[in-house]
């Protein structure tokens, strides 16, 4: 069994129930749906409460940093107590798109870290071209951390490993020229998660098509090949890691 540790069910063209049926047929036993603003988080919590094997997170993506308010943080705190909510995120910094200034993004990020510390929920981090500032801010985090859609080389992997953070490997690790693929063996195997970020970042065999939770099998197979493990070993490893990080009620 595999776990898609980061997906966006509400952005797929099919209903969550259909996506989960297809995922189950591919050997994906559970998914974590990830919130990007208050309304998205609210709907995700509702799905997690009624659709089997769906868990969810609540958060405000850095692309939405300029519109958040104190009441939004209060709403996330309330949603964090909903059944099936297992994490805070995705939150973080994105200097690639530049929708909002670094100052505005960092203010939200700091508030989100404080909220995670208060709720004791693990943090799902979005960091793009902002590694140094992301790691600096996370020095205040007192909860488990996963760097979603991790991209980096030797230096980044070593720093993440030293801190004991988890890394989420998405479809882009399978692309030709991926720096992260080159350093997979440097990662702590007990901190590796596999994810789709669906409907984005389809793995190489499905590139050009909309991504879906079922496609996490391709990323897992790629990781297995690079680590010199078989597919079942990686499925067991990454499912156990997802269970440990999110506190999922899974038998591995």
Averaged pLDDT, 60-69: 95
Distance CA 205, CA 226 (A): 16
Torsion sign across C-alpha atoms 170, 159, 240, 176: positive
Please report whether residue 252 resides in a domain.
no
Residue 40 has pLDDT above 80, yes or no: yes
The domain tally of the chain equals 1
Contact 14, 39 (CB under 8 A): no
Return all residues near 67 (Cβ < 8 A) that are at least 6 apart. none
Please report whether residue 61 resides in a domain.
yes
Distance CA 94, CA 71 (A): 23
Q: Which CATH number goes with the domain that contains 209?
A: 3.20.20.140
User: Residue 25 sits in which domain range?
Assistant: 2-246
Helix (H, G, I), strand (E, B) or coil at 37: coil
Please report whether residue 75 resides in a domain.
yes
Distance CA 240, CA 34 (A): 19
What digits encode the pLDDT tens for the residues 226-249?
A: 999 999 999 999 999 999 999 999
What digits encode the pLDDT tens for the residues 117-172?
A: 999 999 999 999 999 999 999 999 999 999 999 999 999 999 999 999 999 999 99
List phi, psi (to 5°) of 141: -70, 135
Please report whether residue 231 resides in a domain.
yes
What digits encode the pLDDT tens for the residues 165-206?
A: 999 999 999 999 999 999 999 999 999 999 999 999 999 999
- pTM assigned to the model: 0.97
Distance CA 188, CA 144 (A): 15
Return all residues near 175 (Cβ < 8 A) that are at least 6 apart. 204, 207
Pairing mode of beta strands 145-147, 123-128: parallel
Please report whether residue 98 resides in a domain.
yes
Q: Which two tokens stand for residue 234?
A: 């990686």
The pLDDT score that the predictor gives to residue 56 is 98
DSSP string for 139-186? GG--S-EEETT----HHHHHHHHHHT-EEEE-GGGGSTT-HHHHTGGG
Q: How many Cβ atoms sit within 10 Å of the Cβ of residue 233?
A: 13
**What HEC string does 154-166 produce?**
HHHHHHHHHHCCE
Distance CA 133, CA 149 (A): 17
């Amino acid at each position: 069994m595999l776990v898609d540790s980061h997906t966006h069910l509400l952005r797929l063209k099919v209903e969550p129930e259909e996506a989960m049926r297809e995922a189950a047929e591919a050997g994906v036993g559970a998914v974590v749906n990830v919130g990007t603003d208050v309304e998205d988080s609210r709907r995700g919590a509702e799905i997690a409460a009624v659709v089997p094997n769906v868990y969810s997170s609540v958060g405000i993506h850095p692309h939405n940093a300029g519109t958040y308010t104190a009441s939004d943080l209060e709403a996330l705190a309330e949603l964090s107590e909903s059944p099936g909510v297992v994490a805070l995120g995705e939150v973080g910094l994105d200097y690639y798109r530049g929708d909002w200034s670094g100052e505005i993004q960092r203010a939200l990020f700091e508030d989100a870290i404080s909220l995670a510390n208060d709720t004791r929920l693990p943090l799902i981090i979005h960091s793009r071209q902002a590694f140094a500032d992301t790691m600096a801010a996370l020095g205040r985090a007192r909860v488990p951390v996963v760097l979603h859609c991790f991209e980096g080389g030797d230096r980044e992997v070593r720093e993440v490993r030293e801190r004991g953070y988890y890394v989420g490997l998405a479809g882009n690790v399978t692309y030709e020229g991926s720096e992260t693929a080159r350093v997979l063996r440097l990662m702590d195997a007990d901190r590796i998660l596999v994810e789709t970020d669906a409907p984005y970042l389809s793995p190489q065999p499905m590139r050009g098509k909309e991504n879906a939770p079922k496609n996490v099998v391709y990323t897992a197979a790629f990781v297995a090949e690079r680590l010199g493990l078989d597919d079942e070993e990686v499925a067991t490893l990454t499912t156990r890691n997802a269970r440990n990080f999110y506190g999922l009620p899974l038998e591995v």
